[in-house]
Chain A
């Protein structure tokens, strides 16, 4: 079974600075998807970024980018120019590529605090 590990329970960053959240996963599959979700205090889950394992290029969405290291099974999220609105709990998630999959396996989450 796949597992996702987020080793940082909490992180802090100064406004306008850069922070990196770590995520590692374990799988025997070669094709899969990886996601970062944001859960602000409202508790609404928001997709931040996704990465297909077969793509070597790291995904980027505005201030959010990932460092995907397939061999190391690592998938970190970098947030540049941090804003107060980035404060939230961030979850790394894995999904099998296979059709019957579609289930998301979540990590434990990292609480990100942004200081003004």
Chain B
């Protein structure tokens, strides 16, 4: 299957700072990428759909000014958590779409102190 990477795998930051998470498709071009958030022992919650060269589409209830998504190339999408607060602490997962199938990254654990 296709491979998706995420960087960093773990990040700890202070409250009020911004954090950027990268999602890369390593062996395919992903016109569309998805960003999910997952709390412990819970399901994946779709935050937004990212399309290369256009604005991301956010799910209801997700603050687009808080979670900035950029999909500047066919292999890279970034999620920036702006002015992070402890309640933003979570596991963030991205996926890339290839031939109508989603391939998932390994996730990024964000801890905001």
Contacts and interface: CB of A to CB of B under 8 A. Distances in A.
- Most A CB atoms within 10 A — which of B1, B100, B102? B102
Nearest to B106: A44
B107 A43 contact: yes
Interface in A59-102: 89, 91, 102
B69 interface: no
Nearest to B97: A102
Contacts of A107: 43
Interface residues of A, number: 16
A45 interface: yes
23 contacts: A43-B91, A43-B93, A44-B104, A44-B106, A44-B107, A45-B44, A45-B93, A45-B95, A45-B104, A47-B1, A47-B101, A102-B32, A102-B49, A102-B97, A102-B102, A103-B34, A104-B34, A104-B44, A104-B102, A108-B42, A109-B41, A109-B42, A111-B41
